[in-house]
């Protein structure tokens, strides 16, 4: 028989695993998807999604479709160049 304390410990362990999986993003650039969406940009920069959306709407951000307001995407190479301060 499993005690309540054991269940609580197991639930806490599972919550940590889920949380780490939710924030996990491929560390290797080559493992990133070719086109990053708002959630991808948020995970890479470790910011929330609404902040990523505001960032992606700024002038100079290398969106695939500059006037896109829905389904915003950026090529991972142009994004990396932008992060390094290069041209968009």
Q: What is the arithmetic mean of pLDDT over 62-70?
A: 85
In this prediction, residue 24 carries a pLDDT of 61
Q: Global pTM?
A: 0.68
pLDDT value of residue 18: 57
Position 20 scores a pLDDT of: 57
Q: How far apart are CA 64 and CA 7, in angstroms?
A: 48
Q: What is the CA radius of gyration of the chain?
A: 18
* pLDDT over 80 at 69, yes or no: no
For the four alpha carbons of 47, 31, 82 and 60, in that order, the dihedral sign comes to negative
pLDDT tens-place string over residues 8-62: 787 777 666 655 555 566 778 888 999 999 999 999 998 999 999 999 999 999 9
Q: Is the pLDDT of residue 73 over 90?
A: yes
- Cα 79 → chain centroid: 13
């Amino acid at each position: 028989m499993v005690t309540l304390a054991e269940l609580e410990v197991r639930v806490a362990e599972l919550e940590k695993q889920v949380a780490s999986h939710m924030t996990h993003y491929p560390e290797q650039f080559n493992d990133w998807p070719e086109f990053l969406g708002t959630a991808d940009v948020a995970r890479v920069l470790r910011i929330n999604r609404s902040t990523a959306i505001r960032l992606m709407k700024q002038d100079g951000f290398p969106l695939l479709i500059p006037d896109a307001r829905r389904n915003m995407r950026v090529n991972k190479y142009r994004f990396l160049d932008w992060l390094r301060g290069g041209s968009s």
